[in-house]
Amino acid sequence: MNPLRLWATVFCAALLIPALPGCDSAGPSGDDSLNPVGTANIALFPVERDGDWGYMDPTGRLVIQPEYSEAFSFSEGLAPASRWISGRGTVWFYLRQNGSVAFEIVAHDAYPFHDGLARVNADGRWGFIDTTGTYVVNPFMNSARDFSEGRARVKTTGYRWSFMDTSGAVVIETEFDEIEDFADGLALYEEDGRWGYLDPAGAVAIIPQFDEARSFSDGRAAVKVGESWGYIATDGQFVIQPTFISAGDYSEGLAPVRTENAWEYVDETGARSIPPGFDGARAFSEGRAAVEQNGSWTFIRPGGGTIRAAEFDEVWDFEGGLARVRIDERIGYLDLDGDYVWFPEN
Amino acid sequence: MYRLLTLALCAGVLAPAFFGCDSANPSGDDPNNPGPFLPAQALPGYPVPIDSLWGFADAEGRLTVEPQFDFADGFYDNLAAVQQGLLWGYADSTGAVVISPQFDIAGRFADGLAPVRSGDAWGYVRANGNMAIQPTYDTARSFSEERAAVKTGFTWGFVDATGAEAIPPQYAAVGDFSAGVAAVETPEGWKYIGPGGGTQIAGPFADAGEFSEGLAPVLIGEAWGYIDTSGNIVLNPIYEDAGSFHEGAARIRVDERWGYITTSGDYIVEPKIASAGDFSEGRAPVRFNNRWTYVKRSDGLVIGSPAFDSAGEFRGGLAQVSIDGSIGYINVNGEYVWYPSN
């Protein structure tokens, strides 16, 4: 296994997490109430042992033996994990939470399910499969991204992004080089150096007018005007005037922003909630937010206190009550109190 | 090499199954309710290689004839061409050699006859091993509708089963007979003739394919369309390339990509395929990039990832595929019945 590829896999898995339906639900802090529908029932987590991947349960017990060269997180009840089989090639096994194999598919790459469909790269072309492993979009496309809010960003036979619905029909053809997935019903795009948003029909919802912008999260999007970032609502109106040097996404009622030299968190009115003190800061997930201090990462609670000393080279957001962390090349898992469920090992 | 030649020569034989038209097609692809396209009477055997020798397996993937041939083709009219040493003969389903290896090339049986080459000349052998037509032709194709295309020098004609030249060699190129006519190339272009040689559809066309299911692809000017048996254009010439209809679907090329249309010209599969073969038993081989899989006639979706270096037609419920130099057989769901071997 090429280590770069492996890391790309792990990294991509982390990126997918925020796209999970339900992950962005706002709510009061409190561990149980915060577990949204899509993640509350996650029973298994990928772990690496001696270079091979298996899965542990939430208590850190290895329940699927490490016999896969790649392994993704669970999503919509299934997780793809792969290994090479002579005479067939790279075979992806979509595992159920009880460890049984739901189906297998030959593919270079296969990703977790979103909106009931998973993208697979077979022989260099992309298609979508359903949860029985049956192709519902033939593998003819040059690129494909995960479904989000019923739309998937794809490049079919050309090199421009389109949006496909879950029936496989292309519903929006775009001519933009830069366009993001739908979030809160809007897709961020760039035209002539300005950023705006499209609606699900492909019509302009918010005219490109921002110098920089992020996708919507919790009904708000960070946008930059001149040198400062603020936040707009889905109607395009500012809800927090541009005053920040940098700005992240709202989640669970808080957003990381940078004022002077440090990151802090503001509440929905823009008022300071957690004072500045971080070199880096990400959005909250399941009541915890990843923050960077002196080049290392840890997590904070909504009150601002850390759950563990900053000692990690990389962290992934909490999902299903656990967060993956990395020290050097070793992967471990923390619980919401910062205790190891899986100690980082090779 | 011999095999390639044999396959090419005999490609015309693979009797297109005239299943129901499009309207009879179910929308789903429930394997328990396969619809009209899964007929599939199992063949007497399927050639399989084990350690470079070929035997036969049954439709369930059980070895029925021990590996003993240097090469083996599939069964046609219950006989399979087999190679022993340098020469070809024919074996039955038990593996018994019923026509001893004596030919340099052995084609596929149809209408009780198979084209064979001895030395430089082609003739036809009967299923009992007797020569029906002595080797006299420079090229010979399999029979179809009691006519076989033969070539003498630079011209093609047709013989009947008695060896009589029903249509003496006179054409630069010919197709095989189907629906009572065959396309032939004349100095004026392509036209269709009947089994007696008389002109049936005058054309002329720039190129012409075989009739199947009442339609034939013809090249008109720069583009392919389809005519009916009266010679009327029923699908306008708008395609870069076009094949005959099989199971109510024809492969066509648009903007350098293949797709499939119904007899009314509607797309079953949009033209997004790099290479495409004809439907048989509800499946057609397709290539999107470098490797092959199959699309379903019912919904135009693939049965599995493109994984094969080659993909043959479905016959008797199975298709021969190759992967990394090994030969395997899959069923209509894409599952191996014979795991790739060589």
pLDDT of A99 above 90:
no
The answer to whether the Cβ–Cβ distance between B340 and A124 falls below 8 Å is: no
What is the domain extent for residue A168? 107-173
The answer to whether the Cβ–Cβ distance between B304 and A135 falls below 8 Å is: yes
CA separation, residue B5 to residues B106, B184, B301, B328 (Å): 10, 22, 32, 21
d(CA B106, CA A40): 66
pLDDT band (50, 70, 90) for residue A155:
very high
Work out whether strand B121-126 and strand A78-85 pair parallel, antiparallel, or are unpaired: unpaired
Local confidence pLDDT in tens for the 342 residues of chain B: 333 333 333 333 333 333 333 333 333 444 333 345 445 788 999 999 999 999 999 999 999 999 999 999 999 999 999 999 999 999 999 999 999 999 999 999 998 999 999 999 999 999 999 999 999 999 999 999 999 999 999 999 999 999 899 999 999 999 999 999 999 999 999 999 999 999 999 989 999 999 999 999 999 999 999 999 999 999 999 999 999 999 999 999 999 999 999 999 999 999 999 999 999 999 999 999 999 999 999 999 999 999 999 999 999 999 999 998 899 999 999 999 999 988
- The residue count of chain B comes to 342
Chain A nearest-CA distance from B253, in A, is 15
A29 occurs within a structural domain: no
Confidence at residue B274, expressed as pLDDT on a 0 to 100 scale: 95
Q: What is the pLDDT of residues A76-94, one digit of tens each?
A: 999 999 999 988 889 999 9
Chain B nearest-CA distance from A141, in A, is 9
Using a CB–CB cut-off of 8 Å, the residues of B that contact A are 257, 269, 272-273, 288-291, 295, 300-307, 323-324, 326, 328, 339-340
Instruction: Sheet containing B105-106: give its strands across.
Output: B105-106, B113-118, B121-126, B131-137
- Contact of B76 with B108, CB cutoff 8 Å: yes
B323 CB neighbours in chain A (<8 A) are 87-89
pLDDT band (50, 70, 90) for residue A346:
low
Complex ipTM: 0.77
Which residues 6+ apart lie within 8 Å of B125 measured at CB?
B99, B103, B106, B113, B114, B116, B131, B132
A127 occurs within a structural domain: yes
- Is A7 strand, coil or helix? helix
Q: Tell which of B267, B270, B305, B342 to mutate to test the A interface (max A CBs under 10 Å).
A: B305
DSSP state of A88: T
A105 CB neighbours in chain B (<8 A) are 304-305
Confidence at residue A5, expressed as pLDDT on a 0 to 100 scale: 40
What does pLDDT average to over chain A? 87
**Smallest Cα–Cα separation from A139: which of B150, B125, B290, B211?**
B290
A95 CB within 8 Å of a chain B CB:
no
A146 occurs within a structural domain: yes
CATH number at residue A134: 2.40.10
A123 occurs within a structural domain: yes
The beta-carbon neighbor of A140 closest among B273, B290, B291 is B273
Chain B nearest-CA distance from A324, in A, is 32
A251 occurs within a structural domain: no
Please confirm whether the linkage preceding B204 is cis (ω < 30° from 0): yes
The answer to whether the Cβ–Cβ distance between A123 and B295 falls below 8 Å is: no
The answer to whether the Cβ–Cβ distance between B307 and A88 falls below 8 Å is: yes
A228 occurs within a structural domain: no
Nearest 5°: phi and psi at A65? -60, 145
Its pTM stands at 0.82
A134 occurs within a structural domain: yes
Rounded to 10 degrees, what is the CA torsion of B323, B327, B333, B335?
-90
d(CA A279, CA B100): 84
d(CA A205, CA A196): 8
Chain B nearest-CA distance from A156, in A, is 9
Chain A nearest-CA distance from B2, in A, is 26
Instruction: Sheet containing A52-56: give its strands across.
Output: A45-49, A52-56, A62-68
Domains and CATH numbers, chain B: 1-17+43-136 (2.40.128), 145-245 (no CATH), 272-342 (2.40.128.630)
A128 occurs within a structural domain: yes
Angle, CA of B256, B258 and B264, to the nearest 5°: 120
Chain B nearest-CA distance from A127, in A, is 9
pLDDT band (50, 70, 90) for residue A43:
confident
**Smallest Cα–Cα separation from A52: which of A327, A326, A322, A346?**
A346
The answer to whether the Cβ–Cβ distance between B302 and A136 falls below 8 Å is: no
B303 CB neighbours in chain A (<8 A) are 135
Q: What is the pLDDT of residues A286-313, one digit of tens each?
A: 999 999 999 999 999 999 999 999 999 9
Number of domains in chain A: 1
The answer to whether the Cβ–Cβ distance between B289 and A123 falls below 8 Å is: yes
